[in-house]
Amino acid sequence: MVNVIRIVLPPHLRTLAHVDGETELEIKTPVTQRSVLDALEAKYPMLRGTIRDHVTLLRRPMVRFFACGEDLSHDSPDTPLPDAIASGSEPFLIIGAIAGG
Amino acid sequence: MSKIRVLVGTRKGAFILTSDGARKRWKVRGPHFAGWEIYHMKDSPVDPDRIYASQTSGWFGQIIQRSDDAGKTWKTPGSSPEELKSPDGMTKGESNKFVYDTSPETGKPLTTHQWYDGTQHPWEFKRVWHLEPSLHDSDHVYAGVEDAALFESKDGGKSWHELAGLRGSDTGPKWQPGAGGMCLHTILLDPGNPNRISIAISAAGTFRTDDGGKTWKPINYGLHSQFLPDPTAEVGHCVHRIAFHPSRPNTLFMQKHWDVMRSDNAGDSWQEVSGNLPTDFGFPIDVHAHEPETIYVVPIKSDSEHYPPDGNVLRDAMSVDSLEPCGIYFGTTGGQVYASADAGDNWKPIVRDLPAVLSVEVQTLR
């Protein structure tokens, strides 16, 4: 089954990828953080290395993942994302961590 | 008529300043990459409209940008539609992939370096400090990075490979970070000898290759650093910047953490030339375009008090043009870029109130 996933990138990465607003990705089931990021980087290669490390594929420390009001940043990259993400009714949010002050 | 283009990297974006040869009225374009740190921008000597830029962020890491139209438009190399897939179908997008070489064929396994507390610490890539385009090929460019290593690209910045012989030399475990990190910040390409490159690292010192980057040797004899257990050690010196005049590549000048130094044998030995400077602490150093014995430095009170009136001048933030008379330019962490169109006798700000200036490069266009 192919799912249409909605992605919200942080503003700096939208600029880098030349994306205006949300972007959509087509992803086969199961929909996981890994499959979402794989598809995102395939569509926008300039984002490789900006969200997760090129080699280890670990999330960069100051990047967070949110969905349906929950912080999923520490979930396994292979855990299926909520049904609302897979169905496209809610977006998958990639956020630059709030830091400073 | 001649034209001057000044490439200014700041904490919050890039700015490009242009003027005619009179250097009186300046047009300011920018910010490009607003909100990102631009550590350095530099043009290709072969193609002045080709400019490479190091764009970094504590959140999103390293990006390499390239312009082929003098900074009007930019792209991450290798990301155009026709470049998106390699012949084997794999996604490209490696213009920001800086991975240390650990292969036994081209170097040695990745070593550790000295940490602030004296323990050993693994090498970790953080950012590109300096980009040095080749003198002969606009697709060939070197990158000095933190943690200190030298990378090169031969495809216009689409992919990068470490010249691992530098970090693989036996001295690596004695290198240590300065206050700004352990960075390779200066790359000097010898105009008469393509196999000779000199580089400088804070805080390891100066190194030279005479075989195109395969093997390197420390060239720090004559340096004296009181903070080291052995003040005349082979490596460990906090070299802030080195420079030469293109007509005399064997005469190197150095602004060390303290001390201004000179070598007349391509770095094999150094002598102090601080003379009557009010202080010999500072960061940048550069050479007059037409007078190889006229050197510019920016003395700062001390290593614990870094504040000339409008802010510090960082090591990559001073440059000269090659008009007659020679123009000299520097940017401050207070956000001003000052210029002198008469070799330093008179100065004025050519732009004010930018974000903190990290780097200044000047292009003389004829």
**Residue A46's pLDDT is what?**
93
Q: Residue B209 pLDDT > 70, yes or no?
A: yes
Domains of chain A by residue range? 2-96
- Note the pLDDT tens digit of each residue in B151-184: 999 999 999 999 999 988 789 899 999 888 999 9
CATH no. for B71-125+145-306: 2.130.10.10
Q: How many residues are listed for chain B in this entry?
A: 366
Query: What pLDDT does residue B118 have?
Result: 87
At A17, give phi and psi (nearest 5°). -90, 0
Q: How far does the CA of residue B66 sit from the closest CA of chain A (Å)? A: 13
Indicate the pairing of strand A92-96 with strand A2-8: parallel
Q: Residues of B numbered 38-57 whose beta carbons fall under 8 angstroms of chain A's beta carbons: which are they?
A: 57
Interface of A with B in 23-82 (CB under 8 A): 41-42, 44-51, 54-55, 60, 62-63
* Domain locations along chain B: 1-35+313-366, 71-125+145-306
Q: SS3 of B340, please?
A: strand
Q: Residue B90 pLDDT more than 70?
A: no
Q: Is the peptide bond before B325 cis (omega within 30 degrees of 0)?
A: yes
pLDDT at position B7 over 80: yes
Distance from CA of B342 to the nearest CA of A (A): 40
Average pLDDT, whole number, for chain A? 94
For domain A2-96, give the CATH number: 3.10.20.30
B223 with B269: CB under 8 angstroms? Answer: no
Give A98's pLDDT tier (boundaries 50, 70, 90): confident
The position carrying tokens 């910047």 is: B241
Q: Read off the pLDDT of residues A67-95 as tens digits, 9 standing for 90 and up.
A: 999 999 999 999 999 999 999 999 999 99
Chain A closest CA to B142's CA: distance in Å? 20
Tell whether the model's pLDDT for residue A39 goes beyond 60. Answer: yes
Please report residues of B whose CB lies closer than 8 A to that of A96: 59-60
Question: Closest Cα partner for B17 from B331, B347, B243?
Answer: B331
Is the confidence at residue B273, as pLDDT, over 80?
A: yes
User: What share of chain B has pLDDT > 90, as a percent?
Assistant: 85
Band of pLDDT at residue B120, cut at 50, 70 and 90: very high
Residues B165 and B152 sit within 8 Å (Cβ to Cβ): no
